[in-house]
Every structure is written in structure tokens, then in C-alpha cells.
Structure 1
Amino acid sequence: MPSTRLVGLIGTAIRQQRQSRELSQCELAELAGISQATVARIEGGDRAPSIAVLERVLAAMDVQLVIGVEPLDAHLDARIDDLAAQPIAERIDGLGLDELLDRLPDVPQVLTGSTAALLQGAPVPVDALEIALRWRDAKPFTRWLEANYGQRWNARWGEFGGVWLEPEEPGEHRWSTRYGEIRATMCDELPETVEVRHGGRSYQVVPLVELELREPRAAELLRRYRNRQLTSGN
């Protein structure tokens, strides 16, 4: 987790700029004259870069930092309102959620993370399917990944590929597949769920009150959304 909100925002901004230019972390590091590990720590929010390093990284992408102030959490409120204006059905379709769920192996699983939050009406960003899987079902899941061009996230290089697919192997439980990205929480037993319905389809999801989101941006939005719900009495 980032040491401060600002460090997390800087890391997110750099990652978004790098990805929009289709640069790997190694390529950006070479352009900026720093190590790939430094880029990874900055993007992950684990390190606050010095002003000099930050300027070099941004200049390597032909952008610069603009500083301003705003009321606390105003950026979160604006983002929440923007996401809330988008119909859930459209966001489900945009994620390709139903097709990916239909393609998954026939093993017990439940929706968790930002995916579960979205399906319960929380305005959080979702760019991958998040599921909980039991360790005992890891092997059939691995076979499915192999059959569907799965590549596992390589944290060292900041991209997919080059590491073992199997969930038992060290590394993040995050894969790209021919049908979209999957992030898994591996557990001995699946968590308790509630049922939600959209467009005539039912989904088993971890209850919103029990969700803890790992992605810093989404976690901040969910925290703010919950606070707003409490304040409004909903």
C-alpha cells in the first residue's frame, strides 16, 4: 500500500502515462536513466520519488507535473459521481463479465473484489474479473489457463509472461487470458456470499460490507462511497 495518498496518485499517473505510450517499465527506466526496480516501486506506490527523479521520468514521456489544491476527497467525489452515472449493465458488458464467467472451468468460485463491488452498486473502477478460488481447485484452473493462452503477471518486469502459471508458484494471482484478465484470491474455503441479479442473471458475490479492495484507487473510492452512504443515511 502507498505510504500516502499522494505517493499512490503519482505512481498511478506514471503507470497510466507509460502504458498509454506502450512502454515497458524497462524501456521507461532506460529513457529516464534509472533502474527498472525504481520504476516498479514508484508505480506501486512503495517509494516516493525525489523531485529530480520524478521530473526525469515525466520528461522521458514528454509530460510534466502540474500542481494544484482542492477540497479533501473532492477528486473522489467527482470520480464516484462519474462512475455512478454509468449504468451497471453497460459496465458489465464492457468488462465482458458474462462471457468470461461462462468460459471459466467448472469449479466452485465466487466473485469478490471490485467485481463484487460493482455488482452491488458501488462506483469503483473494474478492469479485471476478480474471483475467489479454493486451493484444491488450482490444478483444473491451471489447465484452463494453459488452454486459453494464460500468462501470469510478472511483477519484476511489470508485464504478463515469463513466470509459472500455477497458483502454487510464488507471485501475484493475476493472469491475462484470451477472454480477459483474471485476478484470484486463493483460499481453503470459499467465503460466504449473497446473490445479486442483473439482466436476468444471478451472481454469487462477497457482501459489500466485507470487501477489502487491494487496488489503492478502488479502495479509496469504496471508502469514500461507504462514508457518503453513512452520512446520507442510506
Structure 2
Amino acid sequence: MPESSRLATQIAAVLRRERGARSLTQQELADLAGVSQGAVARLERGDRVPTVALTERLLAALDLQLAVSVEPLDSHLDARMDDLAARSLAERVDDLGLDRVLDRLGDLPHLLTGSTAALLQGAPVPVDAGEIAVRWRDSARFTAWLDAAYGQRWNARWSEFGGLRLEPEEPGEHRWQTRYGQLRAQMCDELPEAIEVRHGDRSYRVVPLVAVELTDPRAAELLRRHRRRHAAERLADAGPAGAGSAR
């Protein structure tokens, strides 16, 4: 997740939590802060990072103030992977909410890929959107589905969804917000070789893990990060005895 998006998400979560704890509506908070209800709604959606002045104004209306801290780069990824690793694979799959999107894709040819495919194969990697591979020749059908699902294309310039044409052929990241959740697409000439994995009473066609690492830089980096941390933990668990045996 881009750093700006992560910060926007964190601020949005804080505002929603603190407003809810005080049983305030968005309009009531807006009135206290002297801003519009629309401004509060946009911030709570986490679409973009608000200005410091606006953030301080809203927090002051809640009798709070902004504090700044630092942490190691990408430590949030480590925390998310630790949380996922502590949960069963069934729980990880259920939390994706993936079935809701897949059920509505109907007969559109696709495969699950990227971090989504990796998680379904047991890797505790964060997934912020369902990821599918779609053929270019099915682009018109995919666009029609996005239109029917009230899709909005990710606009990297404004760090929000909307303002761009839906069609995958148009410039921009292949990422959409739909009524069923977020979706990323890898557009390809032909669907790659797939394997089938089963969870509960459902089967999923996914790109094998080795192919994910070769074709998806985002997922590959997450998998490498997970393996490095896992290896470091094994060495730490070995302790002095492991170090002594190496001499």
C-alpha cells in the first residue's frame, strides 16, 4: 500500500473511532469543527491524506490533538503478516470477502493471482484488494461488468477513486472500487497455467506460487519479506546452542 494511502487510512480510522465513541454523526462533528459534512465523509473514507490544519481542527473538536511518531520503514507490513500468521488459513480466506466478488464475475474468464493467490496457498501476506488475471480479448466484457458494478478507477494523481475511464485500455493502474469491494487486474494475452486450491466447500483457480513470484513484483517482495523474517525467527529460536554448534 502506498505510504500516503496508509496514512490516509490511519487518520480515517482514528476519526471514525473517536467520533463513534462520542456518538456523534458526521454532521455534528462537522458543525463542531466548522467544516462541511462532505469534508468529514471524505476523510473518513480515507481516499486522500488531509492537510495537517484540517486534521488538527477535527481532532480539536473531539478534544484531541495530533501527535507524531516514527517507526521502522514498512513495520506495518510486519505487523499485518504477524497477525495473519497467528490466524488459521480458513480465517484469512474468510476475511478476504473474496467470494462476494467472484460470485458476481459470473462466466468472465479469470484466475486469481498476486498476493491473493499467495494467501490462498498459505502465505500470510497482506491483501488489500482481490487480484485477478484477465485476458485482453475479454476487456470489453470486463469493462461492462465494472460498469454494472458501479466501478470507479483508481486515480493515482489525486490518490482517490474516480475521474478516470473504466476501460483497462485507458492509461492508469488496473485497480477499481466496485460495489462488491476493491479489485486489481493483471491484463494478459493468455491466462497463465493454474492450479486449484480448495478451502471449505469452495475451489479457487489460482496462479501457482512460483509463477506469482516471477510475474508480480508486489507479491514477490511480500513473500521475500515473509521468508526473511521467518528465517530470522528460526535463528533467534535456535539461540546460543545453534550458534555453538556452528563452531
Q: Which consecutive unaligned segments of at least 5 residues does structure 1 have? A: 2-7, 33-56
Max Rg structure? 2
> Equivalents in 2 of 1:224, 1:189: separation in Å?
29
How far did 1:86 drift?
A: 1.7
Q: Within 5 A, what are the aligned runs for 1:9-158?
A: 11=4, 13-20=6-13, 21=15, 22-23=42-43, 28-29=50-51, 31=53, 62-67=65-70, 79-158=80-159
How far did 1:60 drift?
A: 9.4
Contact 1:124 1:222 in 2 (8 A): yes
- In structure 2, the partner of 1:45 is none
The Cα offsets for residues 146-188 of structure 1, whole Å up to 9 and x where unpaired, read as 1111111111111111110111111111111111111001011
> Equivalents in 1 of 2:71, 2:49: separation in Å?
30
Greater helix share, structure number: 2
The Cα offsets for residues 192-213 of structure 1, whole Å up to 9 and x where unpaired, read as 2221111022111111123245
- In structure 2, the partner of 1:52 is none
The Cα offsets for residues 118-170 of structure 1, whole Å up to 9 and x where unpaired, read as 10111111121100100000000111111111111111111111110111111
The Cα offsets for residues 24-77 of structure 1, whole Å up to 9 and x where unpaired, read as 677724848xxxxxxxxxxxxxxxxxxxxxxxx9999753333467xx998766
The Cα offsets for residues 82-106 of structure 1, whole Å up to 9 and x where unpaired, read as 2112222223222221121111141
- What is the DSSP-based 3-state SS (H/G/I as helix, E as strand, rest coil) of the residue aligned with 2:140? helix
Q: Which consecutive unaligned segments of at least 5 residues does structure 2 have? A: 16-41, 60-64, 235-247
Contact 1:149 1:177 in 2 (8 A): yes
> Equivalents in 2 of 1:117, 1:85: separation in Å?
17
Paired amino acid for 1:211:
V
Contact 2:5 2:49 in 1 (8 A): no
Provide the aligned C-alpha RMSD in A: 3.3
What TM-score do you get using the length of structure 2 for normalisation?
Answer: 0.66
Contact 2:90 2:199 in 1 (8 A): yes
Name the CA shift for 1:225/1:148 in 2 (closer, same or farther; >3 Å): same
Paired amino acid for 1:66:
S
What TM-score do you get using the length of structure 1 for normalisation?
Answer: 0.70
Contact 1:58 1:64 in 2 (8 A): no
- What is the DSSP-based 3-state SS (H/G/I as helix, E as strand, rest coil) of the residue aligned with 1:211? helix
> Equivalents in 2 of 1:221, 1:59: separation in Å?
37
